[in-house]
Structure formats: C-alpha cells, structure tokens
Chain A
Amino acid sequence: MYALQYVSAALYLAAGVGAVLGLSLPAPKVLSGARWGLAMGVAAQFCAFATLHRLTPAPSLTDLGYALSLMTWLAAGVTVFLVSRISLPGFVPPVAFVAFLATFGAMLHRPEAAVVDVGTTIPHAHVLLASAGLAALGLAGLADFFFLIEHRALKQRRKVPRKLPMPSLEALDRVNRVTLAVGFPLLSLGVITGGLWLHARMGSYFGGSLHETWMLIAWMIYLGLFALRFAGHQGARQAAASAVAGFTFLLAAVVGAGVVS
C-alpha cells in the first residue's frame, strides 16, 4: 500500500512536470501524456486507499495527512473527468503538484498507530464527505483563480500574447457552478456528520474547538455564496472572487486550525 502511495506520488509529480512542459513548449502530446499520468496517479492512489485496511497498524482516514491526501485524490479524479469533457489547459499542473505534495506528505507523517476505533462509521463518513466537499470547492477556487487572471487580461486588453493557453471564461464559470453545486451539499453533509461524530464521543454536537468554530463560519460563508450564486444572479466575476476568498478561508479553517490544534 505504501509502495502504491509512492507510485501515485511519483505519477502526480511526473504529470505536473509534464503538464508544465507541455504548456510552455507548447507540446500537445506531452500535455496529453501528463493528463494520462494524472489519471494513472488517481488509479494508483485508489488502489492504495483500497488496500489501506490491510496494513498493520491500519492508518486512519481521520488523520489530517490522510484526509488531505484523500481530498487531493478526489480533486485529481474530478480534474481528470473535467479535462476530458471541457477544454481546461493549465488545470493539470496545480492539481498534480498539490496531489503530489499531499500524497507524499501523508507518507512522511505516517501515524505510529491507528486512531482508537469509536465503534461507528461516522468518523470515516465525515472525512469522506468533508474531503469530497473540500475537493470540489478547491477546484471551484482554482477555476476561479484562473477566471480572475483571464478576466484581468481581457480587461487590460493585454498586448503581449501569453505563453500559456488558458481555458475560456465560460468553461471556468461552468466549473465554478458545477463544483459549487456539488461541493457545498457535500461540505454540509461533512459538517453534519462531524457534529454526529462529536455527539457520539462527547455527547454534544458542538464542542467549541478552533476547528469546529472556523468550519462553522466557513460553512456559513459558503451558504451565503451558494445562495448568491444560484438565487441572487451574482455575476461571474463576483462569483469567482467570492469562491477564491471562500476557499482560502475554508483551507485556513481545515488545515490552519488543524495544524494549530
């Protein structure tokens, strides 16, 4: 399983380097190879996760390193799907590099022993749902980061032609809509299962810890963004700026608070 993790990390790294080369040369075949590399990395990591329980001691998905690794695996999987459907040049390198760092990081900080079993599947459901939500919202943030760059270039009527091809604004906006529509409900379910997990352990749905407080604030922010996007006729640029800001806050809530605590 650990070997598979290393293989997937290597594939992600190769895909990231290949995608950068493919975009900057430009070399479409290298870029296509990078997409396949990313897909193979996703497949290798799936096998790694599928055989996780065979390890002694079996690491837990509730470990922050593994949760991040799971999150980036889901994001990479969704990216593979998206790039096969929509023209999204420039999307593979950041996803591949982040996936590499998360996968490799999870290997560097392997827990000594498994987290004590609480006798329920809720913790894993919480990690899976929250990770899937974060992955989707992370992709929304990435798409909108590109959107803002592209929008700025068009508004400035940039004279110097860019070296790297970019996805169209419409494609990026569509990624934002889809990932927000999928990501927010998943995040909500992740928050709910988190409350249930806490209740099973401590008898309360909210413990007031740094992580829980920040997550709740982040969830409320996303509730507002979700409502504005789908009910309030928010423009694409405002939606993009909001998504980037929202994901930055969410990342701080999950990783920042996790690291501090």
Chain B
Amino acid sequence: MKILVLGMNHRTAPVEIRERFAVDATGPVLKKLVDRPEISEATLISTCNRVELVVTAENADAAQHVLYDFFARELGEGEGPSAGQLEEVTYLREGGQAVEHVFRVASAIDSMVVGEPQILGQVKDAYREATEAGVCGAVLARLFQRAFATAKRVKNETGISQRPVSVARVAVDLAKQIFERLDDKSALLIGAGDMIEAALVALHDHGLGERRVANRTAANAQALADRFGGSAHALDEIDRLLPDSDVVLTCVGGDEPILTRERVERSLVARRGRPFFLIDIGVPRNVDPAVHEIDSAYLYDLDDLQEVAAANEEERRRESERAERIIYEEREQFEGWMVALQAVPTIRDLRDRAEAIRRGEIDRFAGRLGLSAGQVETLEQLTNSIVNKLMHQPISRLRDETDREAGLMRLEEARALFGLDGDDPEREPGE
C-alpha cells in the first residue's frame, strides 16, 4: 500500500490555472475517484492556494496515470491543461515524501504565509468530507490524524504562528501589547478607505468593542460603520471623540497632520493618563510624529508596521526549520506504522501456516496412537504452547521493525523462509 499526493499550489501554478481545478463539494468527486480499481482511498484538499489529491493505492505506477487523468478530466473538467501538460504545473509525491508533504501542508509550512492558521481548518474540512463520503480508510485516517497532531506540535513547540505578518495583524498585536483586552476598548477610525477597512476587519476579528468612523464624505463613513456595527461621524467631531477612543487609526488625504501634539495632549488630560494607541497609515502622514514623544501615546506609522511585519516573517522562517525537524520525526513514526501495517498479512499467513502444520500432525498421530479425548486435549495444549513459543520471536521482529526498507526486506525474507507464497517444495498439498 502506497500513499500518493498529486497537486498544484501557489508555487507551481498561477491562480488562473488553480481556480479551474478548485472544487467546492469534494465528496461526489472523490467517490468517482475511488470507483477506479487502482485507487483505494482518497481525500481532496481544495483551497485558494492549493488543490491536492491524497490517495492510497496498491500499485503506485498505475495509480499515477489514473490521478493525472482524473485531475485533468474531472477536476479541470477538460478546460485546464491536458493530462500531459499537467506535469508542468503539478507535483507528485510518493511514500514518505507524500507523508511529509501532508504534514507540511497541515502545519502551514508549505503555505504562502508560513504559519498561517487557516490551512489546518481547511485540511480538517477536507478530511471530514472524505470521511463522510466513505472514501477515507484506515491508512488515510491515520495519516490525517497524525498530520493534525504534527500541526499541533509545530504550533506548540515552535513560534511559527505567533508573530503576525500582515500590517493589519501587526497593528492588532501592538494593540494587545498595550491593552489587556480589546472588547472593552473603543476605536476611532479617521478615513474610510481600503487600508482602514483592512485594519478594522482585523480589530473586529479580535473583538474590538466600540467602533466610530469619521470621514470627510459622510456616506462612506456611514457605509463602513454599517458594515461593522459602528457609528459614523464628521471630521469636525474628532475633538469630542478622541478622549473616549483607545485606538485611533488614520488614513485620510491632506498635506497637514490632522492630529497634532497639542490636540492629543488635550485629549490625554481628559483620559486621565490612560494610554492612546495611534496607527497612522496615511501617506502623507496624518499624525504629527511628535505625538510619539508623549508618555501615554504610542504612535506607529505604515513604515513601522511594515518593518515589524517583515521582522516577524523572518522570525517565522527561522522557526520553520525547527518545524521541519518535528515533521521529520513524525514522518519516521508514521512510516514505522506503515511497515507494521504491511506486516499484518505476513504475520497472519505465518500463524495460519504454523496452525495448519500443528493441526495436520495432531490428526495424523492421534488416530495412529489411539489417544483418549483427555490425552488429545493435553497434546493440543502442548503443541499450541510449542508453536506459540516458536512463533513469538519471528512475529515480534516482523511487527516491531520501524525502518521502512529494513522492514520490507525482513517481510520478504520471512515469506521466503517459511514458504508463505506457495512455492515451498516441502509444503504438503491442501495446506
């Protein structure tokens, strides 16, 4: 049994191609795939940055052809590249590499933004849909359970997802360094453009309490306020709003700063020293840089936020090296489990063979020696005990081998030594 991954992601295919292969409801598609005799189990991970088929198959070569064909015909619905052209925009992973790839994807090491938290939820959804469709067996179930456990280890044991890398998230992170909680804080947003909206989304996601939008164009302020459950105000209301605002975001046009040092200082008196967090993402800047010199005011402009974001990204990259080590450990463990799984038929054959010999010999001698029922029972116990003791060591060795190559070699040797493949010249007919 082999695990295979065929997929495309943001590195191998542009969005124009990826979007042709994206699938919303994966269940029916996967059912079609496992209807093919070459494929045993299947899962489909389809997000905005990747489309990947994860399957198990007895014959990897045959499964590859099926996967390329299925990718082109079923996922691409014939509109994307052909099966031949697909090789240029996709990647194929097999065995241990496929296992490692799934672990890397779930742990967000393979993501466009390393450490981003959404991918784990998307992989979980993909696994759930495959399970509900009845196309996910024991091997993929184990693979995905280990992938989730690996992602959890990576999250807990490295700092890969701790540092925000978008400007809006950096702003929220800084706000959390200043304020213990955001749900009882109020924000004043001066402007109503895209940048303000992005920052507002991030603050909204982190449970910011009150939101007030002040803008030159009242209609734009009202539209943004309506979307996020806030209130709209005119720019000349700023002095009234400032003392009650803990977080102030500004991004409006104009050559002169809207918030001067004097204006902020006046507000701080009314705030009785409670701190202000000001985020100025306007170009040219909307807040006088001298405001940062005030003790209780913390002013960050776009460059500051971008520099923090870049430093955080670098830190995430460093942390991803530690994550790779964890993934390697988990891959080794999973491969050990796969070898043990492959040993099951051999162990079963070995037990059956020993039992057949034991049973044959008892039948032969019990009649010849004229043993009573009690003596036959004793003989049964004796031979059972001998067989179990003889088989214990080889079975343990087969079951406990964790190295994939050594394990497979040992399985082959065991089958040859005990004549389990039916080519044993000593084997009696009918056994």
Contacts and interface: CB of A to CB of B under 8 A. Distances in A.
B273 A236 contact: yes
Contacts of B304: 157
B157 A236 contact: no
A236 B179 CA distance: 13
Contact of A170 (B156, B275, B295): B275
B177 interface: yes
B300 interface: yes
B311 A170 contact: no
Interface residues of B, number: 26
Given A154-B174, A161-B315, A168 B180 contact: yes
A29 B180 CA distance: 22
Interface string B268-300: 000011110000000000000000100110101
Contacts of B296: 235-237
Given A159-B307, A159-B308, A161-B315, A170 B178 contact: yes
A161 B177 contact: no
Contacts of A25: 157
B117 interface: no
A154 B163 contact: no
B272 A233 contact: yes
A26 interface: yes
Given A161-B311, A236-B275, A238-B295, A170 B157 contact: no
Contacts of A26: 159, 162
Contact of A235 (B159, B176, B273): B273
A166 interface: yes
A97 to B, nearest CB: 24
Contacts of A161: 163, 308, 311-312, 315
Given A155-B298, A159-B308, A170 B180 contact: yes
Interface residues of A, number: 27
Nearest to A88: B180
A83 interface: no
Given A161-B163, A235-B295, A235-B296, A171 B272 contact: no
Contacts of B292: 155
B159 A166 contact: no
Q: A150, A166, A168: which has the most chain B beta carbons within 10 Å? A: A168
Majority DSSP secondary structure for residues of A touching B: loop
A47 interface: no
A124 interface: no
B311 A160 contact: yes
Given A155-B298, A157-B300, A233 B180 contact: no
Contacts of A248: none
A204 interface: no
Q: A150, A160, A170: which has the most chain B beta carbons within 10 Å? A: A170
Contacts of B295: 235-238
Interface string A219-237: 0000000000000011111
Interface in A196-253: 233-238
A27 interface: yes
A167 B181 CA distance: 11
Interface string B151-172: 0000011010011000000000
Nearest to A151: B295
A167 B176 CA distance: 9
A168 B177 CA distance: 4
Contacts of A159: 307-308, 311
Nearest to A172: B180
A162 to B, nearest CB: 10
Nearest to B155: A28
B265 to A, nearest CB: 12
A182 interface: no
Contact of A86 (B177, B180, B307): B180
B180 A154 contact: no
Contacts of B159: 26
Contacts of A237: 295-296
A51 interface: no
A86 B180 CA distance: 8
A169 interface: yes
Interface string A147-180: 0001000110101110000111111001000000
A234 B295 CA distance: 11
B184 to A, nearest CB: 10
Interface of A: 25-29, 86-87, 150, 154-155, 157, 159-161, 166-171, 174, 233-238
30 contacts: A26-B162, A27-B156, A27-B157, A29-B156, A150-B177, A154-B177, A157-B307, A157-B308, A159-B307, A159-B308, A159-B311, A160-B311, A161-B163, A161-B312, A161-B315, A168-B178, A168-B180, A169-B177, A169-B179, A169-B275, A170-B178, A170-B179, A170-B275, A171-B180, A233-B272, A233-B273, A235-B273, A235-B295, A236-B275, A236-B295
Given A160-B311, A170-B180, A233-B273, 18 more contacts: A27-B156, A86-B180, A154-B177, A154-B178, A154-B298, A157-B304, A157-B308, A161-B308, A166-B177, A167-B180, A168-B180, A169-B179, A170-B179, A233-B272, A235-B273, A235-B295, A235-B296, A236-B274
